[in-house]
Amino acid sequence: MAEPSSVLVIGSGGREHALVLALARDPQVRAVHAAPGNPGTAEAATNHPVDALDGDAVAALATRLGVDLVVIGPEAALVADDADAVRAAGVACFGPSAAAARLEGSKAFAKEVMAAAGVPTARAHVCATADEVAAALDAFGPPYVVKDDGLAAGKGVVVTSDRDEALAHAAGCGRVVVEEYLDGPEVSLFAVTDGRTVRALQPAQDFKRVGDGDTGPNTGGMGAYTPLPWAPPDLVAEVTRTVLQPTVDELSRRGTPFAGLLYAGLALTRHGVRVIEFNARFGDPETQPLLALLRTPLARLLHAAATGTLDAEPELVWDAGSAVAVVVAAAGYPGTPRTGDPVGGLDVAVEGASVVQAGTAADARGRVVSSGGRVLAVVGTGADLARARERAYARLATVELEGSFHRTDIAAAAAEKQV
Ligand code: AMP
Ligand code: GLY
């Protein structure tokens, strides 16, 4: 069936809420389900309780609901085996198999695939002992980059010029990847793929450090914007040719095709584009502004990727303007966040702006309360980045959450053409 009318989205968080909103806008879609979802998804979808890490439970829910398509959001669910279980139950699934999701689940595996496919990335050593780490750090010199090999929710990477700090991070990790420092602006490029055909989205940029001016520790992302007025015009074509297509082809050649969302985190260095990392799902918070501008009906697109018919789909269509997302984080994030505080101002209407919920829950009285570090994102759209920023921050000013904080400089340099 080319036009799915009911979709189940697995996972709860800002990207899943953004997916639910975009799927609900697809004119062919009559029902959207979310599991477990949050109070935000409940407004556009029916929420169902599920353990997202239990593939059999997810497949059983999909079968019981009789949906045409399942979209798996969280990386941990993909690395478990949700997508395999759903496909085995005969339901179309957007999301790679556990074998292909290792591209995100293991940084060492990703390096190996890139080497085999000739994809440009930082030189790296995979290290199992403190002596190996010390030798790798000294081989590359500062600034040092040390990455936990496994999934770490965006917090497994330390970039520092302090050798002791680099050693200490490695000591707390187990197997690590030590790599060459990549200097240059970062770009996130997402692609929808069915394992053969690749359709890249427009580029976005996220802000990983917790503080204004890119200070403080790394987070899952404090804000994002799209498009990038400063990016080279041939960037998407070049990255598709040198990164996305070769990676998809290599996984296909190995008999573990990647069908889902391939996310390339890139550095534009003086020596050319280099891959920083791959993710196997819609990235957060870039998904929020990207889907705010995507006009192509999303359910149809993801269904085509899930069923191997992406080559028959038309080119993606975008709104001409810009979109900016700013994350509102709970006190303590990215350490242990304060939770359980009421979130106010969710119903306020600001033109060209919306709220995407992530770390929220309903309390016993049905009020929306904070339940995680990144509580929500405000998304503003407009003719250009300056206007989109203004609207995002205007919407943010009406959100009430005690102790919360946000970055004030999301997309500021790009809006002022200072990147
Ligand atoms: P990752 O989880 O691999 O995306 O890393 C998180 C962040 O750490 C990236 O977005 C970069 O800002 C930074 N980072 C990772 N690898 C490198 C590298 N080789 N050189 C410079 N910065 C890096
Ligand atoms: N934007 C970073 C991530 O989704 O991992």
353 assigned to some structural domain: yes
* Residue 155 confidence (pLDDT): 63
44 domain-assigned: yes
Ligand 1: atom nearest CA of 152 is 2
Average of per-residue pLDDT values in the chain: 95
Preceding omega of 285 cis (within 30 degrees of 0): yes
* Ramachandran quadrant class, 253 (left: phi over 0; alpha: psi -120 to 50; beta: rest): alpha
Q: Do 326 and 306 share a structural domain?
A: no
Percent of the chain with pLDDT over 70: 99
Q: What is the structure's pLDDT at 149?
A: 82
β-partners of residue 354 are 379
Q: Which CATH number goes with the domain that contains 338? A: 3.90.600.10
pLDDT digits 0-9 by tens, 125-153: 999 999 999 999 999 999 999 998 877 66
- What per-residue confidence (pLDDT) applies to 2? 64
Contact indicator for 243, 266 with CB cutoff of 8 Å: yes
> Are 209 and 284 part of one and the same domain?
yes
275-303 CB burial, b ≥16 within 10 A, e <16: bbbbbbbbbbbbbbbbbbbbebbbbbbbb
Q: Does 41 have pLDDT greater than 90?
A: yes
> Six-digit token pair at 315?
């080119």
Do 218 and 193 lie in a common domain? Answer: yes
Are 165 and 219 in the same domain? no
**Interval 148-180: pLDDT, tens:** 887 766 568 899 999 999 999 998 888 899 999
Query: Would you say the pTM of this structure is higher than 0.85?
Result: yes
Mean pLDDT of 283-295: 97
Q: Is 114 domain-assigned? A: no
> Is residue 383 one of the residues assigned to a domain?
yes
The pLDDT assigned to 47 comes to 97
Higher pLDDT, residue 148 or 258? 258
- Does residue 307 form part of some domain? yes
Ligand minimally distant from the alpha carbon of residue 186: 1
With the most atoms of ligand 1 within 8 angstroms of its CB, the residue from 121, 123, 159 to mutate is 159
Residue 32 belongs to domain spanning = 6-94
Give me the pLDDT at residue 153, please: 63
pLDDT of 62 over the 60 cut = yes
Do residues 194 and 300 both lie within one domain? yes
**pLDDT for residue 296:** 98
The mean pLDDT of 392-415, rounded to a whole number, is 98
In a domain, 187, yes or no: yes
| 198 plus 233 within the same structural domain | yes
Is residue 224 a contact partner of residue 248, using CB atoms and an 8 Å limit? no
> Same domain, yes or no, for 331 and 403?
yes
23: which 2 tokens?
């799927």
CA distance 197 to 366: 44
49 & 131 share domain: no
3-state secondary structure of 246: helix
- The answer to whether residues 160 and 204 belong to one domain is no
Given ligand 2 and candidates 15, 155, 279, which is best to mutate, with the most ligand atoms within 8 Å of its CB?
Answer: 279
* 379 has a pLDDT exceeding 70: yes
Last residue of a domain, which of 115, 148, 179?
A: 179
pLDDT at 14 over 90: no
What pLDDT score does 13 carry?
87
**Among protein residues, the one whose CA lies closest to atom 6 of ligand 1:** 157
Q: Work out the end-to-end distance of the chain between its first and last CA atoms, rounded to an integer number of angstroms.
A: 45
Single out the residue in 146, 179, 212 at which a domain terminates. 179
CA dihedral over 135, 139, 143, 149, signed as positive or negative: negative
Residue 103 covered by a domain: no
Closest to 324 in 3D by CA, of 419, 408, 199, 218: 408
Residue 104 lies in a domain: no
pLDDT digits (tens, 9 = 90+) for 214-238: 999 889 999 999 999 999 999 999 9
| CA 113/CA 276 separation, integer angstroms | 13
The closest of 119, 89, 85 to 101, measured between CA atoms, is 85
The CATH code of the domain that includes 12 is 3.40.50.20
Q: In the predicted model, what is the mean pLDDT of residues 172-200?
A: 95
Tokens 């296909």 label which residue? 252
Q: How many A from CA of 181 to the centre of ligand 2? A: 19
Same domain, 76 and 45: yes
Domain count within the chain: 4
> Do 56 and 127 have their domain in common?
no
For residue 374, the ligand closest to its alpha carbon is 2
Q: For residue 63, is pLDDT > 90?
A: yes
Q: Which of 312, 332, 351 is the last residue of a domain?
A: 312
Phi/psi region, residue 214 (left: phi>0; alpha: psi -120 to 50; beta: rest), is left
Nearest-atom index, ligand 1, CA of 154: 2
Please state, in angstroms and rounded to a whole number, the distance separating the CA atoms of residues 122 and 73.
27
What is the mean predicted confidence (pLDDT) over 393-404?
Answer: 98
Average pLDDT over every residue of 340-346:
97
Residues 130 and 172 in one domain: yes
- Phi and psi torsions of 384, nearest 5°: -140, 180
